[in-house]
Chains A and B, each alone.
Chain A
Amino acid sequence: NAGVTQTPKFRILKIGQSMTLQCAQDMNHNYMYWYRQDPGMGLKLIYYSVGAGITDKGEVPNGYNVSRSTTEDFPLRLELAAPSQTSVYFCASTGTENTEAFFGQGTRLTVV
């Protein structure tokens, strides 16, 4: 039972490069989320999705894009990486709003 799987675990990008952070869950959850966690700070919601084909902005969406073509996958796209996007990124999923959120192990991204 894999839960939520994020790849890669670590990545270093140069300014202006692009990349996609992958997130997959095998629990048939409708709700999926992307958060960023800056050093010593809490989680900030980037984007979320309540089902396949539906996405919405969170608190800090600028510089990111998402898609939700299937229930299982929720990739996060950085188009033009900036140093301000250096952070740890967590993907999470829940079955409903009242149930436990399952988190991936995180992706540590450094933009230089």
Chain B
Amino acid sequence: GNSVTQMEGPVTLSEEAFLTINCTYTATGYPSLFWYVQYPGEGLQLLLKATKADDKGSNKGFEATYRKETTSFHLEKGSVQVSDSAVYFCALSDRSGTDKLIFGTGTRLQVFP
């Protein structure tokens, strides 16, 4: 079945460091890919998305490129801030007809001043 695999956390960085959170997926067909962010005590909110191969999603300095050849959608940010501390979820939307939204296990990011 479809699945999403994320790197385990926590990821601990100093402010202004470079961030990469790896995400790979398994899916039939051509899913849409998403990154969601969850701040403490809140629900998830969309960070960025890509709907086809080679698309790059970007928002708030974060970027991710849909790589069909490596089935990956890694999240990157050039310079993290303390306010970026949160849990990040990679997700895919199954277009096979079932329309399920499948999430990875999440990666906790902790940024220290």
Contact = CB atoms under 8 A, between A and B. Distances in A.
A41 B105 contact: yes
Interface string A44-58: 010010100000101
A98 B51 contact: yes
A31 B99 contact: yes
Interface in A75-90: 90
Interface string A72-108: 0000000000000000001010100110110111100
Interface residues of B, number: 25
Contact of A101 (B51, B101, B104): B101
Contacts of A106: 42-43
A58 B2 CA distance: 12
Contacts of B42: 105-106
Given A35-B103, A101-B46, A103-B43, A43 B32 contact: no
Contacts of A104: 43
A24 to B, nearest CB: 14
Interface stretch (B13-21, B64-72, B76-84, B90-98): B90-98
Given A41-B105, A97-B101, A98-B51, 20 more contacts: A31-B99, A31-B101, A33-B100, A35-B103, A42-B106, A45-B100, A48-B99, A48-B101, A50-B98, A50-B99, A56-B98, A90-B43, A90-B44, A92-B44, A94-B93, A94-B101, A97-B93, A98-B49, A100-B49, A101-B44
11 contacts: A31-B99, A31-B101, A35-B103, A43-B44, A43-B89, A45-B102, A50-B99, A94-B93, A97-B99, A98-B32, A103-B45
Interface of A: 4, 31, 33, 35, 41-43, 45, 48, 50, 56, 58, 90, 92, 94, 97-98, 100-101, 103-106
Top 5 A-B pairs, shortest CB-CB distance:
A42-B105, A103-B43, A97-B93, A43-B103, A100-B46
